């Protein structure tokens, strides 16, 4: 049985107990949220060495980090290093988006290299296998697509992005809808092109019940992909995005009825003043399904700094109900990220998530409270202990001016300590 089905029976699974203890929350409350579909638990029944993670209502905002090879660069060791660095700096899950090399071997290697849940996009492998045969992606058969999905589920992936909402109807809407950027989802584009070429319905939408059967067998969380997310601010909230969202809302209901855990993916690029409304609309349209957002990115003109533009959007989105933030690296829109880009992307997304989590969980706020006390006492050792990125702390501290180089700075610090000591003495 799936976590959702167990929760509906009133059963508290070992995964629920583990998560409740780790999150510091009531186990029964977690069970109720899982039973309603408001919270999902990542743990494929075949991924028995992974630490389960919960996303949704009543738990902390989580962060995902994407890694993966490309057709041009197949360096599995580098991707493993990225995965480990991402987890080290706070990523709660990893998504393997590999499109080059032996994809089966790469996926399995990544899954054994980290102890966090792993997600994938199976359509990438189906497309890559066509290219490897010297064929066009649109020559994929329905069997090719389903084979990839089944393979990923059997391998133990904990959640998969399936672009079920890219339907024949919405593809027809694309023909009459002008967009500044067009379609930017790789998986969504593959399916839209396939639909246009063959004139057939999206197999994952047409045979959604079969997808649910497979997901239920392995207790894979279906992440209903936003194939029509806006790829630029001018396209935010357009007809295509909304049409797909309402389709996903209906599919969430069907998944829950089948006992399958489901979450919904969201945009994308959104003007900062639209984020709150879009998140709340998505929550209503999907009956409070866990909401997984990429960013959102709040401005398009800072390439190289998209980890920052995404962190701004992510914090606002999470404050208004988003549950899961996909990191964005400085290399977004420019190229493949290196290890340092992964570190920066994870830290930026983690800042956004923590900024919201500390308003919800007393234990999280306590960390910031203790840091404030350490700063008030100029206790550098304690500040180091409490720092989320200790390496960065040391890097900056090594660059600080010495007393002889900057007496005025030292004097300011001494004055701060003097005043704070006096205040502390008066309080005592």
What mean pLDDT do residues 253-282 have?
98
pLDDT at 365 over 80: yes
Q: Does 392 belong to an annotated binding site?
A: no
Q: State how far the Cα of 320 lies from the Cα of 306, in Å rounded to an integer.
A: 21
Q: Does 265 belong to an annotated binding site?
A: yes
Domains of the chain: 38-360 (3.20.20.540), 363-424 (no CATH)
pLDDT at 400 over 70: no
Q: Does 47 belong to an annotated binding site?
A: no
Q: State how far the Cα of 103 lies from the Cα of 161, in Å rounded to an integer.
A: 16
pLDDT tens digit sequence for 123-168: 999 999 999 999 999 999 999 999 999 999 999 999 999 999 999 9
Q: Does 228 belong to an annotated binding site?
A: yes
pLDDT tens digit sequence for 329-359: 999 999 999 999 999 999 999 999 999 999 9
> What is the reported pTM?
0.93
Q: What is the pLDDT of residue 343?
A: 98
Q: Does 287 belong to an annotated binding site?
A: no
Q: What is the pLDDT of residue 183?
A: 95
Tokens of 166: 């890219």
Tokens of 198: 């063959």
Q: Does 325 belong to an annotated binding site?
A: no
Phi, psi of 367 (to 5 degrees): -60, -45
Q: What is the pLDDT of residue 93?
A: 98
Q: Does 159 belong to an annotated binding site?
A: no
pLDDT tens digit sequence for 28-84: 999 999 999 999 999 999 999 999 999 999 999 999 999 999 999 999 999 999 999
Q: Does 413 belong to an annotated binding site?
A: no
The HSE-up count of residue 288 (CA atoms within 13 Å, CB side) is 10
Q: Does 326 belong to an annotated binding site?
A: no
Give the closest residue to 265 by CA, choosing from 325, 220, 307: 325
pLDDT tens digit sequence for 293-335: 999 999 999 999 999 999 999 999 999 999 999 999 999 999 9
Q: Where are the alpha helices (DSSP H) in 37-158?
A: 76-88, 103-113, 122-132, 142-155
Q: Does 66 belong to an annotated binding site?
A: yes
What mean pLDDT do residues 410-427 have?
61
Q: Does 292 belong to an annotated binding site?
A: yes
Q: Is 387 left (phi over 0), alpha (psi -120 to 50) or beta?
A: beta
Summary mean pLDDT of the chain: 94
What mean pLDDT do residues 89-104 have?
97
The C-alpha angle with vertex 185 and arms to 346 and 50, in degrees rounded to 5, equals 45
User: Cβ atoms within 10 A of the Cβ of 127, count?
Assistant: 26
Q: Does 354 belong to an annotated binding site?
A: no
Q: Does 186 belong to an annotated binding site?
A: yes
The C-alpha angle with vertex 258 and arms to 116 and 20, in degrees rounded to 5, equals 35
Q: What is the pLDDT of residue 398?
A: 84
DSSP secondary structure, 336-388, as one string: ---HHHHHHHHHHHHHHHHHHHTTT-HHHHHHHHHHHHHHHTT-HHHHHHH-S
Per-residue buried b or exposed e for 77-116, using 16+ beta carbons within 10 Å of the residue's own CB: eebbbbbbbbbebbbbbbbbbbbbbebeebbbbbbebbeb
**Enclosing H/E stretch for 223:** strand 221-224
**DSSP at 49:** T
User: Cβ atoms within 10 A of the Cβ of 184, count?
Assistant: 19
Q: Does 95 belong to an annotated binding site?
A: yes
Q: State how far the Cα of 379 lies from the Cα of 237, in Å rounded to an integer.
A: 48
Q: State how far the Cα of 380 lies from the Cα of 360, in Å rounded to an integer.
A: 28
Q: State how far the Cα of 249 lies from the Cα of 5, in Å rounded to an integer.
A: 20
Residues 6 or more apart in contact with residue 419 via CB below 8 angstroms: none
Give the closest residue to 190 by CA, choosing from 240, 239, 144: 144
Q: State how far the Cα of 384 lies from the Cα of 390, in Å rounded to an integer.
A: 6
Q: Does 387 belong to an annotated binding site?
A: no
């Amino acid at each position: 049985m799936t976590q959702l089905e167990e929760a509906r029976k009133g059963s508290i699974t070992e995964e629920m107990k583990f998560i409740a203890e780790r999150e510091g929350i009531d186990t029964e409350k977690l069970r109720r949220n899982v039973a309603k579909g408001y919270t999902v638990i990542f743990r494929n029944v075949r991924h028995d060495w992974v630490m389960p993670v919960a996303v949704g209502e009543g738990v902390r905002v989580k962060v995902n980090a994407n890694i993966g090879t490309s057709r041009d660069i197949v360096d599995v060791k580098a991707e493993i290093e990225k995965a480990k660095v991402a987890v080290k700096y706070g990523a709660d899950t990893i998504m393997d988006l590999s499109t080059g090399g032996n994809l089966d071997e790469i996926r399995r290697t990544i899954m054994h290299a980290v102890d966090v849940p792993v997600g994938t996009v199976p359509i990438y492998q189906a497309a890559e296998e066509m290219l490897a045969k010297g064929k066009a992606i649109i020559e994929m058969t329905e069997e090719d697509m389903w084979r990839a999905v089944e393979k990923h589920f059997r391998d133990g992936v904990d959640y998969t992005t399936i672009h079920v909402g890219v339907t024949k109807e919405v593809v027809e809407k694309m023909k009459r809808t002008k967009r500044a950027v067009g379609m930017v989802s790789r998986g969504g584009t593959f399916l839209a092109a396939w639909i246009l070429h063959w004139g057939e319905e999206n197999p994952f939408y047409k045979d959604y019940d079969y997808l649910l059967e497979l997901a239920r067998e392995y207790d894979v969380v279906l992440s209903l992909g936003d194939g029509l997310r806006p790829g630029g601010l001018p396209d935010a909230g357009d007809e295509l995005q909304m049409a797909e969202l309402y389709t996903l809302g209906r599919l969430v209901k069907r998944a829950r009825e089948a006992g399958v855990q489901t979450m919904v993916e969201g945009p994308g690029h959104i003007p900062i003043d639209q984020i709150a409304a879009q998140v709340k609309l998505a929550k209503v349209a999907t009956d409070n399904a866990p909401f997984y957002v990429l960013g959102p990115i709040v401005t398009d003109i800072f390439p190289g700094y998209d980890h920052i533009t995404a962190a701004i959007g992510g914090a606002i989105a999470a404050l208004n109900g988003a549950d899961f933030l996909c990191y964005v690296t400085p290399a977004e829109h420019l190229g493949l990220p290196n290890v340092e880009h992964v570190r920066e992307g994870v830290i930026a997304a983690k800042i956004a998530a923590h900024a919201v989590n500390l308003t919800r969980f007393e234990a999280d706020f306590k960390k910031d409270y203790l840091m404030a006390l350490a700063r008030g006492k100029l206790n550098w050792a304690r500040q180091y202990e409490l720092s989320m990125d200790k390496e960065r702390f040391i890097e900056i501290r090594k660059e600080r001016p010495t007393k002889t180089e900057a007496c005025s700075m030292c004097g300011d610090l001494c004055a701060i300590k003097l005043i704070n000591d006096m205040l502390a003495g008066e309080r005592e």
